[in-house]
Amino acid sequence: MKLSHVLSTLNQIEKSKFITCLDKLCSSAAPGDEVISKALSKVNRQIKDASGSEITHLFNAVAIQYQDSIREKLALSDASMALLINILTRDGNGIARISWVEQLYNREWEALDALAQQIQQDLDSNLTEDYGHAHRLKIFRDCLNVAYTNDERINRQANITDDERSILNTLAHHLKISHDEVVAIEHLSEPIKAGKQTVENCLQELRDMGVIFVNRKTSEVLIPDEVVTVLNQIQGKELADKHLLRILRVLSDAELSNVLKSYGKRIRSVSRAEKISTILHSGIAVRDMLSRDLFDEADNQNKRKERLKQLIADLDIDADKIGFTLDERIDVILQSLNTAADHEFDAISATGYKEMFDALVQNFQGTDATGVPETLIQRIRFEYELEETEEINVERLRALSITPHDVLYLLTNDEVKELRDNLKLPRKGNPRTNILEAFANANDKLIENYAALAKRDLLALKAVGIEINEADIGVKFEEATKTILEQLELDVDEELRKSINTAKDKADIIISISDDDIIIGEAKTCKEGDFAKYSATSRQIKAYVNRCENQGKRVAQVLIIAPSFSQDFIESAEMDTEVNISLLTAEGLKQIYDAYKAKRRPNFSARLLTKGGLLKAELIAKSI
């Protein structure tokens, strides 16, 4: 979840530690930095009174100082903190209940302890110095122990400094020791603490640092995407696991085996799925893997560069330049994947994502690692470590920054091909791309015929190949309306809509125009004549307004979209003194949308929808 969205869900007390941390950094850096000074001036140097978007702007301005500050504080923490941060920064854990975080920590500790005991057995049973994997582990362990005993020798508390850590990381790189083995060996030398109290202490410390937020009402830990990025940089993690999974999906079995062999991992009688899972959970550095580990030793530099060129194509990375050197091509891959989320969310609308997700849930037939049948929901829950009681839907996935692409890459290559066939999609081309485009195109077709959809004109829809049940038209019109508004780059806030809706009162659309100001949207279809049901509509929207205002939101406008409006409806809306109402015809919204898409640099604001009365779409379209 983005920082701005996290801030909008919390009260002032829950945000206080982060704001205090940000205030100190800004005050300290402002005298020597004009950008930070200007950002502070915009909020009159009172960060506590700033809006969520202003706080986000300040955070971005002091991102470097923030990273340095957090790095210094974490350097003073013990290994249990590092273990917890590794859990919190994993995909799917950006929002989690405290009790679930405690369970994840205990599970991680048990797996780490088991690996540490296995390494100890291997070290005890290995008596040769053949520079095999066990011998390399022993070298690393001995060097780690020296780092500890150096402190004790001069009567200081045993600790690994940043300088020593950088040396040990370089040593692990050259000895081809994976991150999980490094942590396990450290656990042998200095056992990591377990237990609920350890987690509680670490969470409180992270909150005091301004790293996490705690929603006291839901007992949830929230860590914004921007902070996760900072923590990954501090940990030296260049790519999120969900993006590393994409790379592993397109590697050959032989290349996966090469990676595993480089780190002394078992490859005989190991399935492709197990190979991918082992690499994914070993913490192997992606840069090492792409520059060295996946290749045969005999492969020269040119052959390696050609392989990365093909990998860029296999990952559907659209880059102006792919680079010439090996490192440049690795940079293209990492940068493209790290910045993919926004583009991928824009490529398919929220409605298209929901339709795709529903279709996948219905048609997916997979098995887990043991061969037991598995649903898509079970796969998502397992891979993203989501709690059993947590409802898995598109809104939750979007809040966790899990894109439609991420969901499809949870499926094996064979599973996604079978799914493509079940959906009766073309076999030519990339199957994941075919699935994504199918749902993006289906929504585009509804938008093209938006006016017919609004008028519930089944014959016109059928004539252009849109097969739809009459009972579903209202929902499809609502979804198409949301898509158009999203394409106009308005903030359609599904999280807020979900939070205010009840079984009785269900708003169609909520548009956030600032941290506190919103527009409530209603999408109405009408088969014959003008839309004329003002009394019923008025009761609906006033109930929504009350619920929003009870949550501290100011309803700047109510926007009603319908095929057309009766004169009585228009006059009643204009005379209503309780709420501000704007009316817009479906054809008018489509006209605005077409004008927006036609312009190279369109100029459109949600404020254009707040004029009140029947909006003149042609004038709005001309002003874009």
**Do 374 and 287 fall within a single domain?**
no
Burial letters for 108-129: b for 16+ Cβ neighbours within 10 Å, e otherwise? bbeebbebbeebbeebeeeeee
What pLDDT does residue 223 have? Answer: 96
Q: Which residues contact 161 (CB under 8 A, 6 or more apart)?
A: 75
Whether 34 shows a pLDDT value over 90: the answer reads no
**Do 399 and 301 fall within a single domain?**
no
Amino acid at 600: R
What pLDDT does residue 202 have? Answer: 96
What pLDDT does residue 464 have? Answer: 84
- pLDDT band for 585, please (50, 70, 90 cuts): very high
| Residues making up the chain, counted from first to last | 624
| Number of domains present in the structure of the chain | 3
**Do 523 and 578 fall within a single domain?**
yes
Neighbours of 504 (CB within 10 A): 6
492 SS3 class:
strand
What pLDDT does residue 355 have? Answer: 87
Q: Is residue 618 part of a domain?
A: yes
50-76 pLDDT, tens digit per residue, is 777 788 888 988 999 999 999 989 988
Tokens of 528: 């014959």
**Do 426 and 352 fall within a single domain?**
yes
**Do 314 and 351 fall within a single domain?**
no
Q: Contact 379/410 with Cβ under 8 angstroms?
A: yes
252-280 pLDDT, tens digit per residue, is 999 999 999 999 999 998 999 899 999 99
- Count of H-run helices and E-run strands, the chain: 33, 11
Q: Which residues contact 401 (CB under 8 A, 6 or more apart)?
A: 1, 94, 225, 341
Neighbours of 241 (CB within 10 A): 18
What pLDDT does residue 335 have? Answer: 94
Q: Is residue 86 part of a domain?
A: no
Tokens of 244: 């590393």
Q: DSSP letter string over 150-190?
A: HHHHTT------HHHHHHHHHHHHHHT--HHHHHHHHHHHS
Q: Is residue 138 part of a domain?
A: no
Task: Give me the helix-helix angle, 63-75 and 52-61, nearest 10°.
Answer: 70
Cα 512 to Cα 520: distance, rounded to the nearest angstrom: 9
Whether 42 shows a pLDDT value over 80: the answer reads no
What pLDDT does residue 50 have? Answer: 79
**Do 515 and 602 fall within a single domain?**
yes
Cα 453 to Cα 463: distance, rounded to the nearest angstrom: 12
414-431 pLDDT, tens digit per residue, is 999 999 999 999 999 899
Percent of the chain having pLDDT more than 90? 62
- pLDDT band for 4, please (50, 70, 90 cuts): confident
Whether 333 shows a pLDDT value over 80: the answer reads yes
Q: DSSP letter string over 185-243?
A: HHHHHSPPP-SHHHHHHHHHHHHHHTS-EEETTTTEEE--HHHHHHHHHHHT--S-HHH
Average pLDDT over residues 367-392: 92
- pLDDT band for 368, please (50, 70, 90 cuts): confident
On average, the pLDDT of the chain sits at 90
Can you give 410-462 as a three-state secondary structure string?
CCCHHHHHHHHHHCCCCCCCCHHHHHHHHHHHHHHHHHHCHHHHHCCCHHHHH
Task: Give the distance between the most distant pair of CA atoms in the chain.
Answer: 93
**Do 326 and 365 fall within a single domain?**
no
- Whether the model pTM is above 0.85: no
**Do 328 and 441 fall within a single domain?**
no
CATH assignment at residue 610: 3.40.1350
Whether 600 shows a pLDDT value over 90: the answer reads no
Strands (E), 526-610: 554-562, 581-585
399-409 pLDDT, tens digit per residue, is 899 999 999 99
Cα 489 to Cα 494: distance, rounded to the nearest angstrom: 14
Whether 589 shows a pLDDT value over 90: the answer reads yes
Average pLDDT over residues 25-40: 84
Cα 228 to Cα 610: distance, rounded to the nearest angstrom: 37
Average pLDDT over residues 187-198: 92
Q: Contact 338/239 with Cβ under 8 angstroms?
A: yes
Percent of the chain having pLDDT more than 70? 100
Whether 455 shows a pLDDT value over 90: the answer reads yes
Q: What is the domain extent for residue 403?
A: 342-448
Residue where a domain stops, chosen among 338, 364, 395: 338
Average pLDDT over residues 447-452: 92
70-117 pLDDT, tens digit per residue, is 998 998 888 899 999 999 999 999 999 999 999 999 999 999 999 999
Q: Contact 301/197 with Cβ under 8 angstroms?
A: no
Closest CA to 508 of 497, 519, 500, 495: 497
What pLDDT does residue 149 have? Answer: 81
Whether 550 shows a pLDDT value over 90: the answer reads no
What pLDDT does residue 105 have? Answer: 96
Residue where a domain stops, chosen among 338, 371, 390: 338
What pLDDT does residue 342 have? Answer: 84
Closest CA to 509 of 478, 534, 535, 536: 478
Whether 564 shows a pLDDT value over 80: the answer reads yes
**Do 366 and 328 fall within a single domain?**
no
Closest CA to 516 of 553, 489, 545, 544: 553
Q: How would you class 162 by CB atoms within 10 Å of its CB: exposed for 0-12, middle for 13-18, buried for 19 or more?
A: exposed
Higher-pLDDT residue of 528, 544: 544
Q: Which residues contact 223 (CB under 8 A, 6 or more apart)?
A: 88, 89, 93, 94, 211, 212, 213
Q: Is residue 102 part of a domain?
A: no
- Alpha-carbon distance values, 379 to 100, 328, 361, 405 (Å): 18, 35, 10, 15
Query: What is the sign, positive or negative, of the torsion defined by CA atoms of 71, 332, 292, 184?
Result: positive
Average pLDDT over residues 139-165: 82
**Do 403 and 308 fall within a single domain?**
no
Average pLDDT over residues 280-309: 93
Whether 44 shows a pLDDT value over 90: the answer reads no
Q: Is residue 437 part of a domain?
A: yes
- pLDDT band for 558, please (50, 70, 90 cuts): very high
**Do 569 and 610 fall within a single domain?**
yes
What pLDDT does residue 49 have? Answer: 75
Q: Is residue 201 part of a domain?
A: no
**Do 418 and 437 fall within a single domain?**
yes
Neighbours of 26 (CB within 10 A): 23
Residue where a domain stops, chosen among 277, 309, 338: 338
Q: Contact 435/420 with Cβ under 8 angstroms?
A: yes
Nearest 10 degrees: Cα torsion 129, 132, 138, 142: 80
Q: Is residue 380 part of a domain?
A: yes
Q: Is residue 433 part of a domain?
A: yes
